[in-house]
């Protein structure tokens, strides 16, 4: 297959982690005889520095001309600590999601066997967890009208949804649930919010088209508790933009680190793959950031193009790196492995299992020729 992939490294650790994911995609291309072309473009703080715009027109065009987009991370202290900044890196990501119509953000959570003991949650609670969050990504409070009064003593963010916005992601979530454990949980605050009541009405209506799927409802506050108390009860969670943002960070604790949380942002015409985590500016350039979330997002990219065998090979290599503890400090306090060691091991393992394992042993002995 020939794929043009836009690479948007962004800020902070973004460039380091996307570099590893590109390496891994190159290994997949080599192993399975595909042609992947990578087109780099600026976004976020990096783009503001150069052009004054967090999403330059050129970047948007590169994305539109590509088959898929792989996104790193954006954000910087400089803007986080300045509530008055008019131009912010995050605007680049939000505009990208909106302009490309990426309305469904799919965020998987699974408990990795070798990491179960690393989670602050008890093993018996998280073992066997496997659910997906379908987060609506182009509506709600993120995109509603915003205002601050002239005296700057009051501010407002509107939350709005239309039935059409709710319906399209609800159908996707039902279809997915139908192919899995056939349970869909809608998370909202229907006891308080009008928008949530719209979500419930639409979900109930659409449920009639998917009689094999059980539809359940949970308030977001209860859901945040249930996610930790009994995560195995979930199969597919459907929720709005804001609740999805919050719950997916919480869910990452189950896997052992947010550095493992991957995602796919899907629309009718474009698809983007991005880690759930942020730009971790403190770690920028230190070669310690976990590249697995971006690498696993690349696996979602492969699956999007029905390259299932390739995605499986990638996932197996990731699992091997976790099993052998060729992982970064967030999930490995025993040995020191850097961001690029992880990317190298995974791409080597994809190409040639045997010699990568030999190299890995030598890395541990400090004798490898590749470090």
Does position 310 bind Mg ion by CB under 5 A?
A: no
Q: Which is nearer to ligand IPM, 135 or 338 (CB)?
A: 135
How far the first Cα of the chain sits from its last, in Å, is 32
The verdict on whether 221 is a catalytic residue reads yes
Which residues here bind ligand IPM, judged by CB under 6 A? 74-75, 90, 93, 245, 276, 278
Does position 240 bind Mg ion by CB under 5 A?
A: no
Residues present in the chain in total: 371
Question: Shortest distance, CB of residue 249 to Mg ion, whole angstroms?
Answer: 6
The verdict on whether 249 is a catalytic residue reads yes
79, 103, 112, 142: the active-site residue: 142
**CA-to-CA distance for 93 and 10, rounded, in angstroms?**
10
Residue 75 contact partner, candidates Mg ion, ligand IPM, none, CB within 5 to 8 A by sort of partner: ligand IPM
Output the DSSP codes for 175-236: HHHHTTTSEEEEEE-TTT-HHHHHHHHHHHHHHTT-TTSEEEEEEHHHHHHHHHH-GGG-SE
Question: Shortest distance, CB of residue 308 to ligand IPM, whole angstroms?
Answer: 26
CA-based radius of gyration for the chain: 21
67, 80, 99, 249: the active-site residue: 249
Q: Which is nearer to ligand IPM, 199 or 243 (CB)?
A: 243
Contact 251, 109 (CB under 8 A): yes
In the chain, where does DSSP find H-type helix? 14-32, 45-51, 57-65, 77-80, 89-99, 123-126, 163-178, 194-207, 220-229, 241-255, 292-304, 308-323, 339-351, 353-365
The verdict on whether 142 is a catalytic residue reads yes
Q: Which is nearer to ligand IPM, 14 or 338 (CB)?
A: 14
Does position 245 bind Mg ion by CB under 5 A?
A: yes
**CA-to-CA distance for 367 and 371, rounded, in angstroms?**
8
The verdict on whether 204 is a catalytic residue reads no
Question: Shortest distance, CB of residue 242 to ligand IPM, whole angstroms?
Answer: 8
245, 330, 341, 348: the active-site residue: 245
Binding site for Mg ion (CB under 5 A): 245
Catalytic residues: 142, 189, 221, 245, 249
């Amino acid at each position: 297959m020939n794929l043009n992939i836009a690479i948007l490294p962004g800020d902070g650790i973004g460039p380091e982690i996307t570099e590893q994911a590109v390496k891994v995609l190159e290994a997949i291309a080599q192993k399975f005889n595909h042609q992947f072309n990578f087109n780099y473009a600026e976004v976020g703080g990096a783009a503001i520095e150069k052009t004054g715009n967090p999403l330059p027109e050129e970047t948007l065009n590169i994305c539109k001309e590509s088959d898929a987009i792989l996104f790193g991370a954006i954000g910087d202290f400089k803007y986080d600590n300045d509530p008055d900044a008019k131009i912010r890196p995050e605007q680049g990501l939000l505009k990208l999601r909106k302009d490309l119509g990426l309305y469904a953000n799919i965020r998987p959570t699974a408990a990795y066997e070798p990491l179960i003991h690393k989670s602050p949650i008890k093993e018996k609670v998280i073992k066997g967890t496997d659910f997906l969050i379908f987060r609506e990504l182009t509506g709600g409070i993120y995109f509603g009208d915003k205002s601050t009064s002239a005296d700057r003593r009051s501010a407002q963010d509107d939350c709005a949804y239309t039935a059409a916005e709710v319906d399209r992601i609800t159908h996707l979530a039902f279809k997915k649930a139908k192919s899995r454990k056939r349970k869909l949980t809608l998370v909202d605050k229907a006891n308080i919010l009008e928008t949530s009541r719209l979500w419930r009405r639409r979900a109930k209506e659409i449920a009639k088209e998917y009689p094999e799927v059980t539809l359940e409802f949970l308030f977001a506050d209860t859901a945040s508790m249930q996610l930790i108390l009994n995560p195995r009860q979930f199969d597919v969670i459907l929720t709005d933009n804001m609740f999805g943002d919050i719950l997916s960070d919480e869910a990452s604790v189950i896997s052992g680190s947010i550095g493992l949380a991957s995602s796919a942002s899907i629309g009718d015409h474009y698809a983007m793959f991005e880690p759930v985590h942020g730009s971790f500016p403190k770690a920028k350039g230190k070669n310690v950031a976990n590249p697995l979330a971006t690498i696993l997002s690349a696996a979602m990219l492969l699956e999007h193009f029905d390259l299932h065998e390739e995605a499986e090979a990638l996932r197996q290599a990731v699992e091997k790196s976790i099993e052998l503890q060729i992982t970064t400090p967030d999930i490995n306090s025993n040995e020191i492995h850097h961001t690029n060691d992880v990317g190298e091991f995974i791409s080597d393992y994809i190409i040639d299992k045997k010699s990568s394992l030999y190299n890995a042993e030598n890395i541990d002995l400090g004798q490898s020729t590749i470090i």
